[in-house]
Amino acid sequence: MKKRLLGSFLVLLSISGTTTFGQNTPVAPKLEFAFEVRAEVADPTVVGQLPTGVRRIVDIRGGTFEGPKLKGKLLPGGADWQLIREDGFTEIDARYTLQTDSGRLIYVSNAGMRHAPPEIMKQLNSGQSVDPSLIYFRSVPKFETAAPELQWLMRSIFIATGERYPKGVVIRFFRVL
């Protein structure tokens, strides 16, 4: 049976004109801008030093979001649970809720990372303004919504870029096409 299946597979390959895999040049997926979130955040609550780094929680006070297909407000009550390693590398686990102008709710779970040279991260984590271009801030969001017109959010992969400011965060979400 195994020989028969293998033989059939080889026949299919020879019909297609090639018997080697990976000969084509891969094409990178394209990105489509989805929306931008502007969040107002509280000062961090520092839980303390753990064996894996400093745990802190940054509460989200509110904000707005806008893109070509949707806009609305970022509801207060979410937070970003961060783990900051000794060299400043930060693991991000943010969870929050968006409400569209039509009242539809979108739950966001956004996991990512933020890092830069240690001296830059020290400035950023102490609340100072730092040029966002000096910091690698990326995340992979997932969305949940019951709104039929927003199902595209749950049927696509997204990546996001972030910028941290002393009292806020700007996150731009891109849909992978």
Structure-derived torsion over alpha carbons of residues 132, 162, 76, 45, reported in degrees to the nearest 10: -60
Cut 0.85: pTM above it: no
Tens of pLDDT along 64-116? Answer: 999 999 999 999 999 999 999 988 899 999 999 999 999 999 999 999 999 99
Residue-level pLDDT at 122: 83
Query: Do β-strands 79-84 and 53-66 pair in parallel, antiparallel, or remain unpaired?
Result: antiparallel
Using DSSP's 3-state secondary structure scheme, residue 77 falls into coil
What are the sequence ranges of the domains in the chain? Answer: 29-176
Please, what CATH class does the domain formed by 29-176 belong to? mainly beta
**Residue 13 above 90 pLDDT?**
no
| pLDDT tens per residue across span 36-76 | 999 999 999 999 999 999 999 999 999 999 999 999 999 99
